[in-house]
Structure 1
Amino acid sequence: MMLTDYKIAILGGDARQLEVIRRLSEWDATLFLVGFDQLDHGFTGAKQLSIDEVEPEKLDAVILPVPGTNPKGVIETIFSNQSLTLTKEWLSETPEHCLVFTGITNSYLTQITQEANRTLVPLFDRDDVAIYNSIPTVEGTIMMAIQNTDFTIHSSDILVLGLGRVGMSVARSFYSLGANVKVGARKPEDLARIHEMGLESFNIHELKDHTHDCDMIINTIPAPIVSAAVIQNMPSHALIIDLASKPGGTDFRYAEKRGVKALLAPGLPGIVAPKTAGNILAKVITKILLKELGERSSF
């Protein structure tokens, strides 16, 4: 089964979207690219259009960038200077079966898709995407740690906050590099899993009691967890790498005042390995589209 005659609009995005475009082109989809007018090459079977030139009533799917939209519906367009906004009115013109793909969602995007009665697919809510994506995230975190310290990861005292899909991969990888890793979590089952992994665990509510001798904090929790009280106890040479989605979970103002380097680093896969990150998204999107197409053709 191919995606022949399947019409897809790809609205904005970064280098990861280029891999999505290539993959969908291979599956013979008809693509309408919006926000890619500064690309120095074209794609077979793809048309570069403005948002006003797209005919939404003919679309089977809409693919947004990983960040989705901002709170006002504006879409990131790395390869264009044109402003691009997604509205409920535009979505409402698409067919009822049209799928809307995004990496992550927000209240605006969730609301307009619900009001337009369209199916929103937040890819990063899927375990497979998040786990695959944790691989380039970890590599990017290691790169940032090396670039922003004057000591080795080996034998460093590192606190990893959160044992989600990214936190688990980060903790395991830094431990493999010889770091002394402690992992902070809240749920009893997560604390048990940390112990099973052979790492030291602590309750996240006791974080400030563990920072006085740490060399690095790597946060994956999208909540204000690395507070001024936490940073106050840290050595001045310590580094904070915040992997949580914007605005992160760190008091960056106080960190700067205290002289502790703190880096907000969401979206690392798109920075350090856009080809791999794009392929991860492309494979999952293609799988979902083929399944949806098969279900439609069975009626």
Structure 2
Amino acid sequence: MLTGLNVAVIGGDARQLEVIRKLTELDAKLFLIGFDQLDHGFTGASKVKLDEVQFKEIDAIILPIPGTNHEGIIDTVFSNEEVKLTEDLVKSTPPHCVIYSGITNAYLDKIVQSTDRKLIQLFERDDVAIYNSIPTVEGTIMMVIQHTDITIHGSKIAVLGLGRVGMSVARTFSALGANVKVGARDTAHIARITEMGLTPFYLDAIQKEVEDIDVCINTIPHLIVTAQVISKMPAHTLIVDLASKPGGTDFRYAEKRGIKALLAPGLPGIVAPKTAGQIIANVLSQLLHDLVKERKGSSQ
């Protein structure tokens, strides 16, 4: 149980509702900031304004998956109120206060460094990323069906990268009958692709490998699908970029060439917000249990 733990949940989308539900069941005391337009309430959770919270009593701050923008503004789907995470606000929390976010940026990094607070990035964790790859794959399948005029079965698909998402994407599209080739740099990844029964290629050869594909699915978070690569693709090719913003595709050139290129980060929150929220909630509840144990240990 999380009895006695004071948690500020600041902003977020439908995924945060699962987090709130889970933490209230565990008896944490929640302060919901940026949820004033939320229809239903949660027992043990209070909808409040940012300036109404006594942050000196807050043990944990839960931010949305994107964290903040580069000015510190937090996305609040359930409110029109602008909410900003400031250095003064974080500094007013107890030294043991932990901030939880999906990802980080330079602004957030600077704040936690200057205030000497701990930041945990949920999407850096293998368990979250692997669980999240399931709705990501389903969302990718949906996009490919919507934006092509051929079946996945028998199509030629290139997956770029064999990370936690790339592996799930490649395996699933192959199971649906696609001819899947996977590009990687690491020799161990090339070996794994071969073991999976898929066709491997080194990314150095990407321009040649995309000459006959129907779909290109990128999972690499830096520019890999360049203008030179796109120029070699058939005109009907669909590019689905799953990398975090700004993606790894030259979208300007793709549009100029007439090739449909879709940037699709955050698919779990779009296609399956309940499941995606439950994944985050389960991991967060364990992390907060660990925080409670640490506090009890330090007080003894």
TM-score, with normalisation over the residues of structure 1? 0.98
| 2:176 paired residue number | 177
CA distance in 2, matches of 1:17, 1:234: 40
CA distance in 1, matches of 2:192, 2:256: 36
CA distance in 1, matches of 2:217, 2:192: 18
Q: Which residues in structure 2 correspond to 1:109-258 (within 5 Å)?
A: 109-258=108-257
CA distance in 1, matches of 2:295, 2:45: 24
Read off the aligned partner of 1:31 and give its amino acid letter.
L
| 1:72 paired residue number | 71
Alpha-carbon displacement from aligned partner over 1:2-42 (angstroms, at most 9, x marks no partner): 11121000000000000000000100110000111111111
Task: Give, in angstroms, the shift of residue 236 of structure 1.
Answer: 1.3
CA distance in 1, matches of 2:191, 2:49: 52
CA distance in 1, matches of 2:281, 2:90: 22
Task: Give, in angstroms, the shift of residue 295 of structure 1.
Answer: 2.5
For residue 10 of structure 1, give the secondary structure of its aligned residue in structure 2: strand
For residue 46 of structure 2, give the secondary structure of its aligned residue in structure 1: strand
User: Alpha carbon RMSD of aligned pairs, Å?
Assistant: 0.7
Task: Give, in angstroms, the shift of residue 65 of structure 1.
Answer: 0.3
| 1:284 paired residue number | 283
Q: Does 1:265 align with 2:258?
A: no
Alpha-carbon displacement from aligned partner over 1:202-224 (angstroms, at most 9, x marks no partner): 11121111111100000000001
CA distance in 1, matches of 2:45, 2:27: 10
CA distance in 2, matches of 1:105, 1:189: 29
CA distance in 1, matches of 2:95, 2:194: 48
Task: Give, in angstroms, the shift of residue 196 of structure 1.
Answer: 1.1
CA distance in 2, matches of 1:264, 1:132: 21
CA distance in 2, matches of 1:211, 1:159: 7
Alpha-carbon displacement from aligned partner over 1:217-261 (angstroms, at most 9, x marks no partner): 000000010011111111111100000000000011111111100
CA distance in 2, matches of 1:224, 1:20: 34
CA distance in 2, matches of 1:125, 1:152: 34
Q: Which ranges in structure 1 are unaligned for 5 or more consecutive residues? A: none
| 2:55 paired residue number | 56
CA distance in 1, matches of 2:151, 2:56: 56
| 1:41 paired residue number | 40
For residue 274 of structure 2, give the secondary structure of its aligned residue in structure 1: helix
The alignment covers a number of residue pairs equal to: 298
CA distance in 2, matches of 1:188, 1:87: 44
Task: Give, in angstroms, the shift of residue 114 of structure 1.
Answer: 1.3
Task: Give, in angstroms, the shift of residue 88 of structure 1.
Answer: 1.2
TM-score, with normalisation over the residues of structure 2? 0.98
Q: Does 1:12 align with 2:22?
A: no
For residue 119 of structure 2, give the secondary structure of its aligned residue in structure 1: strand
Read off the aligned partner of 2:28 and give its amino acid letter.
A
CA distance in 1, matches of 2:107, 2:199: 40
CA distance in 2, matches of 1:193, 1:200: 10
For residue 33 of structure 1, give the secondary structure of its aligned residue in structure 2: strand
CA distance in 1, matches of 2:49, 2:132: 31
Percent identical across equivalent pairs? Answer: 63
Task: Give, in angstroms, the shift of residue 67 of structure 1.
Answer: 0.5
